[in-house]
Amino acid sequence: MERIDLYQMHWPAEDGTPIEEYWRTLLDLKQEGKVRAVGLSNHNVAQLEAAERIGHVDTLQPPFSAIRRETGAELLPWCRAHGTGVIVYSPMQSGLLSGRFSAERAAALPADDWRSRNADFKGEALERNLALVDAFGPVAERHGVSVAAAAIAWTLAWPGVSGAIVGARSPAQVEGWLAAATLELTPEDMDEIAHAIDWTGAGAGPVRPAALDSSRIWRSGSPRRRWGFRAG
């Protein structure tokens, strides 16, 4: 390869290195032609602002799902305003929104699986999350897709989201959610899911995109969407 297409700082530096220093390094790599675009992952708005003052942030990679919705509050609007592409990760919330998870499966998770120690997979939080998964069922059925595809399409329906990184362990899993690439959720679908989030109390963050600019909000099937793939 002559250059890397996209190079991102995955987490803020934990050794005290200021963002101005490592962001300048990434911008230098872009200026030298070694990478086409540079971005940040798991950074907040204040950190994005600090980086943008030095040079443009091409992309942001945050967690985002119908359970973990905080990204929709400030990060997505900031990225839209600054022309920063957003590649969300964990849109199925580590399997919870796949439509194949259950309380029994959660209880049987082995000790070496980090999910066995995660609050989303235990007690009342798990009950709320699984109730939300059930609410995705009718939406998925209307469109003839899997619950997983509907959950991924929900993230892609938000303005500012450019693509989603989805993990798979087998070709069958890929086939189960691939329909999300062309699925266009309707305003009624989004309202139904928002109401389900409200009454289940699952997760945290805004339950729907802002009502403005509706001509763009609901076009989750935009041809400009791109997918990210990873193993596992």
In the chain, where the domains are located? 62-231
**HEC readout, the chain:** CCCEEEEEECCCCCCCCCHHHHHHHHHHHHHCCCEEEEEEECCCHHHHHHHHCCCCCCEEECECCCCECHHHCCHHHHHHHHCCEEEEECCCCCCHHHCCCCHHHHHCCCCCCHHHHCHHHCHHHHHHHHHHHHHHHHHHHHHCCCHHHHHHHHHHCCCCEEEEEEEECCHHHHHHHHHHHCCCCCHHHHHHHHHHHHHHCCCECCCCCCCCCHHHHCCCCCCCCEEEEEEC
Q: What is the dotted CATH code of the domain comprising 62-231?
A: 3.20.20.100
Asked if 86 and 55 touch (Cβ cutoff 8 Å), the reply is no
- Model pLDDT, residue 214: 42
Nearest-Å Rg of the Cα atoms of the chain is 18
Polymer length of the chain = 232
- Model pLDDT, residue 98: 85
- Model pLDDT, residue 205: 95
- Model pLDDT, residue 226: 40
Ramachandran angles phi, psi of 79, nearest 5° = -65, -40
How confident is the prediction along the chain (232 residues), in pLDDT tens digits per residue? Answer: 889 999 999 999 999 999 999 999 999 999 999 999 999 999 999 999 999 999 999 999 999 999 999 999 999 999 999 999 999 999 998 888 988 888 888 888 888 888 878 888 889 989 999 999 999 999 999 999 999 999 999 999 999 999 999 987 888 878 888 889 899 999 999 999 999 999 999 999 999 997 544 443 333 333 334 434 343 3
> 199: Cβ–Cβ under 8 A, 6 or more apart, which residues?
none
CA angle, 55 then 205 then 176, to 5°: 90
CA atoms within a 13 Å half-sphere pointing along the CA-CB vector of 114: 3
pLDDT in tens, 60-95: 999 999 999 999 999 999 999 999 999 999 999 888
One-letter amino acid for residue 159 of the chain: P
Q: Say what the pTM is.
A: 0.85
- Model pLDDT, residue 211: 52
Of 117, 183, 124, nearest to 148 (Cα)? 183
What is the rounded distance in angstroms from the CA atom of residue 134 to the CA atom of residue 232? Answer: 25
Of 135, 130, 229, nearest to 173 (Cα)? 229
One-letter amino acid for residue 56 of the chain: H
